Structure 1
């Protein structure tokens, strides 16, 4: 039973990373952008986060470093596809290969080395005591709870209940119509 619970717990933890990337891609798709570079940027961000946490034993600094790397990579994609008018698909694939390659080269020094600090699990009382699924689902770190419960609700609220979310969806659906009603878009 402990093996099954551990397996489920690791699946929930690993799936959170994919869910976060998917949530970002949903927002990008609503804006009319096809970002195929997500996997490469996530890999590069993970290596930078591990190196940051090993240098300074603060997991929040590692998270910040990974976010900065992802933002920088997304800026490169935006610059190349929006400003330079390069093909989004080719730019995304290039960023994927670049991110995977760089993370492979840079990450050799930390491959297999345990991280010096991690986010501690937060157990939800009563629910974490349920056999098998309790520890797997209700004894995770705070980021897992944010990724599965808070961020999707926030993204949905922002996309469908705010003016800026409506503007983003309008630009993604029909840029000419959005421009006609005064929503600023980049040509």
Structure 2
């Protein structure tokens, strides 16, 4: 089971490295690790389990955050309508995106960042992601709004990019032009 002590923190070199593709089919070890990442997210969102194991609630986790430089992400998040997006993906890739941007009005957080970083993080409002599921199935996901933000945040981790790299340093709360504000 992954715990908070397994999650590397800001400043760790794995967070700035570019992760390697996973050779498919994924090994049993890689599948178990990705399953464990997804399990962490599910347990972290249950208040009792989170309290019992000292888990910080999260909606996404990328392998570099647990010091594994492989292109693997787990997402367990609900959209604005309550639809659950729960995926463990190998080699996720954004294959297309909208011109229009969006941002979380509350800003973004990260399990690897223990401080509050104020500011808007511009993201694409709509994206199409491909990847391979835990079951070995190639899938294409069309995402918008909050799930799109979560997937972009996690895929950024695979490329050594932190969410605050996107924040305008001069004016952190300057809303991106023509962007959709998303409340959370």
Same fold (TM over 0.5): no
User: TM-score, normalised on structure 1?
Assistant: 0.22
Which protein has the bigger strand share? 2
Which protein has the bigger helix share? 1
User: TM-score, normalised on structure 2?
Assistant: 0.22
